[in-house]
Amino acid sequence: MGRSTQILKFCLTLAHLVAGILWVGSAVVVDRLTGRPWGGGLSRRAQVLWSRGLCRIIAVQVLSEGDDDDSTEPCLLAANHVSWLDILCLATVRPICFLSKAEVRQWPFIGSIAAGLGTLFIRRGARDAARSAVSDMARRLRGGHSVLFFPEGTTTAGDRVLPFRARLFQAASEAAVPVQPVALMYSEDGRPSRTAPFVGEETLVGNLWRLCGSAGVEMRQVFLAPIDSDGKGRSTLAATSRRRVVETLERLRHDALARSTLEASACSATDSQRRQGGRIVRVENQ
């Protein structure tokens, strides 16, 4: 991709981010004034449209599999974590409360909008942080809303799944709701994406710039079968969720590589036929 195209996409992305703050923020205010619930009000529709628009600008194709129907009973969703794009892509499918670090709540404009969209916040490092987060999550679940968190506690390059921390799985038991594992994978040309992961000391601006320079990223999110939390401890729920996510990611990588190999073979065969056809034409012309 040319540098001029990358610059254009980057400028469009920044403009879309600013427009989103105004657009989604206004929708949040309207919902508060009219008493509409966050999951079904104007802000939710604005969030979906804005998220899909940004994915389109930066050429991220979102493909969903499994039980992603937002009409099902509330559940605690546990997903592997690769990028800030995870939340953006998941928000295009179903209304979910996300658990985020408390620092986000203090960000100008964005913090207020996130809170208005139902985001829950955890004070990392605080003595009672986990207990407080579990209480907030269980309360939201009992209120009929699904909650999603990233039990790895940090992002990875997508090449592995870190151990799932069990403490917050307690919210599912306290609210008597199932746990639904979610597997997230980013790929480019059938191979794990090196563009999408947001890891280490990289800045958000730097990651956006790299995404704008990509020809396209495919994001697959698989909503796996819910796990009944009744009678299961949080450690069991965490281990079972992680195992299912790992197994699904292995399948997705295998399928993506097989599809890429098949497409490459088809292109090679087509090129070979064209070259052979060219030789035949030359022979007939002699």
- The per-residue pLDDT for 271 is 60
Q: Is the pLDDT of residue 76 over 50?
A: yes
Report if residue 104 sits inside a domain: yes
Helix (H) or strand (E) holding 27: helix 3-34
Cα 172–177–183 angle (5° rounding)? 75
Report if residue 198 sits inside a domain: yes
Q: Which residues pair with 66 in a beta bridge?
A: 223
pLDDT digits (tens, 9 = 90+) for 182-235: 999 999 988 889 999 999 889 989 999 999 999 899 999 999 999 999 999 999
| pTM given for the model | 0.85
- The per-residue pLDDT for 281 is 41
- The per-residue pLDDT for 240 is 97
Question: For the residues of 223-256, what is the DSSP string, one character each?
Answer: EPPPB--TT--HHHHHHHHHHHHHHHHHHHHHHH
Report if residue 11 sits inside a domain: no
Q: Which domain holds residue 153?
A: 60-278
- The per-residue pLDDT for 56 is 94
Q: Can you tell me the distance from the alpha carbon of 89 to that of 64, in angstroms, rounded to the nearest whole number?
A: 10
pLDDT digits (tens, 9 = 90+) for 6-24: 999 999 999 998 898 888 8
Report if residue 272 sits inside a domain: yes
- Give the number of domains in the chain: 1
Q: Is the pLDDT of residue 282 over 50?
A: no
Between 262 and 211, residue with greater pLDDT? 211
Report if residue 124 sits inside a domain: yes
Report if residue 268 sits inside a domain: yes
Q: Is the pLDDT of residue 100 over 60?
A: yes
* Closest-CA residue to 247 (of 185, 188, 171, 187): 185
Report if residue 7 sits inside a domain: no
Report if residue 129 sits inside a domain: yes
Between 109 and 113, residue with greater pLDDT? 113
pLDDT digits (tens, 9 = 90+) for 110-167: 777 788 888 898 887 677 888 999 999 999 999 888 999 999 999 999 999 999 999 9
Mean pLDDT for the stretch of residues 1-5: 83
Q: Can you tell me the distance from the alpha carbon of 185 to that of 206, in angstroms, rounded to the nearest whole number?
A: 21
Tokens found for residue 87: 């939340």
> Which of these ranges, 78-87, 94-103, 247-256, has the smallest mean pLDDT?
94-103
CATH number, domain containing residue 259: 3.40.1130
